[in-house]
Amino acid sequence: MTEPHVRNERVHHDEISEDSSSEVCVPKCRKMIFNVGGTKFQTLRETLNGCESTRLSDELFLNTHYDTDGCEYFFDKDPEMFRSVLNYVRSGKLHLPATLCGPMIKEEMEFWGLSEIDIEPCCWAVYNNWTSTVNALEQLEKDRKQNVQHVFDDSAPWYTKVKVNAWIFLTSHNSSIPAQIYGWLSLLFVMVAIFSFCAATHPIFKVPSMRRGANVTSGNATENKTTDIESLEEDTERHPVLFYIDIVCLTFFTAEYVLRFICAPKKFKFLLSPLSIIDLLAILPDYIEFLIYAADPEAVGETTFMHFMPLLRLMRAFRIFRLIRHVPGLWIMFYTLKASYKDLSLMLVFLLVGMLLFSSLIFFADDNKVFTSIPHGFWWAVVTMTTVGYGDMYPTSRLGYLVGSITAICGVLLIGFTIPALVNNFSLYYQHVEFAMQKEKLMKEQKKNVMKEKSNHKPPSTNHNHYRDPGIFQEHLPLYSQVGNGSKCDRK
């Protein structure tokens, strides 16, 4: 029950009880009045004593918050949450207000002596969603700043300060204008390296091999014209310009990796970070190829090494992932896949069950000349459930049409059940990263303005810092200095 104005009750002296642990005299009234955040509530003492799971039944706790001037119990807490707590005391069911977020509800519940197991099932889903979101964003922020900064004082040696500045320059491209220029330069090298990787496979950027030039030019023109594609590919190599481009990019990436390692505050953590592993895998194939060629130039054309070359060329594809450092959206996409492993695992289980079920059905329902075995039908089940449908395998009988239709419908339901969770996680993480980056930018500008004002010997402006200065609250809210969390209030 809420009353905006409550009349003070008269109590007799024999109804006053003095607690040895309390400094104030608390009247032993049957009706109790609570002032929570400016909103007043009334309830009976018997109601509070009937529920011992909250702190409202603790006399010592209540006596420390008693206001003798107002003859009421004052709490500087949220009234909406107290309404839910009071309803829990009356009915034994805890329903949470929809206007509060999870962390605030958790803090209020801890203050009033409640636990999460007291929440009703209808409110648990929303509360758990809040809690999971907060935990996910905290982990995201921790992973986003996994490369911790050096911690040092003014007495640190000069080389430590140089390492700190170099580390900030290499990792935080928004820290200064030179760091931004370096970031764009690094992005340019990544794009050039990706171009070289892709162009090396195109016929336009291939020239006759110098090692097999004699074999290519020997013979008459008729034999050269009838040469098949495989022999042409064997007798050609990438353009020398692409080779020199790879050398320059490799030198830049190697210097960058070494400098990051030298300036890293935690070397072991740096080596195990995903981005460092990607950088190492991107430059490792080139060094392996150079070492083999330097050891034995003729070994490049041997069969053993030619079988090993596709693997090295495939590892060069890791250059593409270097864009993660420069495009936040890519990092958020991979982080979403990492953080949503439970949803992905569930989707894979659904896909596996559907693949086994529908491949078995189509094997017994359709022509065995097309679906020769159940494992042979796995491919058809996967491409049908994912609504791809390449058309290389398809049912031809009426019963096969029915099985194929059911497979496609179940695939649509499978995607509809799992994909929205991934989309929601990506949207949540992307918005949080955008907010964090904008907040860091505003804090940097604010810090710059404060330093500028100090350099001009002017007092800092309170227009943008009023939320940090408690004195501003005292200026606009006189009760702020008089009312505390559980303190007495002078209402005169």
pLDDT digits (tens, 9 = 90+) for 311-324: 666 777 777 777 77
State the pLDDT confidence band at 416, using cuts at 50, 70 and 90. Answer: confident
**Which of 389, 385, 392 minimizes the C-alpha distance to 370?**
392
pTM of the model: 0.58
389: alpha, beta or left? (left if phi > 0; alpha if psi -120 to 50): left
State the pLDDT confidence band at 222, using cuts at 50, 70 and 90. Answer: very low
Cα→Cα distances 262→175, 183, 268, Å: 20, 19, 11
CB 355 within 8 A of CB 378: yes
Please tell me whether residue 145 adopts helix, strand or coil conformation: coil
**Which of 37, 131, 144 minimizes the C-alpha distance to 83?**
37
Percent of the chain whose predicted confidence (pLDDT) is above 90: 10
State the pLDDT confidence band at 487, using cuts at 50, 70 and 90. Answer: very low
Quote the pLDDT of residue 152: 52
Lowest mean pLDDT among 329-338, 361-370, 461-470: 461-470
pLDDT at 362 over 60: yes
Measured distance CA(319)–CA(330) in Å, rounded: 14
Please name the amino acid found at residue 287. Y
Please tell me whether residue 412 adopts helix, strand or coil conformation: helix
CB 379 within 8 A of CB 353: no
Lowest mean pLDDT among 255-259, 428-432, 475-479: 475-479
State the pLDDT confidence band at 25, using cuts at 50, 70 and 90. Answer: low
How far is CA 166 from its chain centroid? 27
**Which of 167, 142, 174 minimizes the C-alpha distance to 441?**
174
Lowest mean pLDDT among 165-174, 255-264, 443-452, 476-485: 476-485
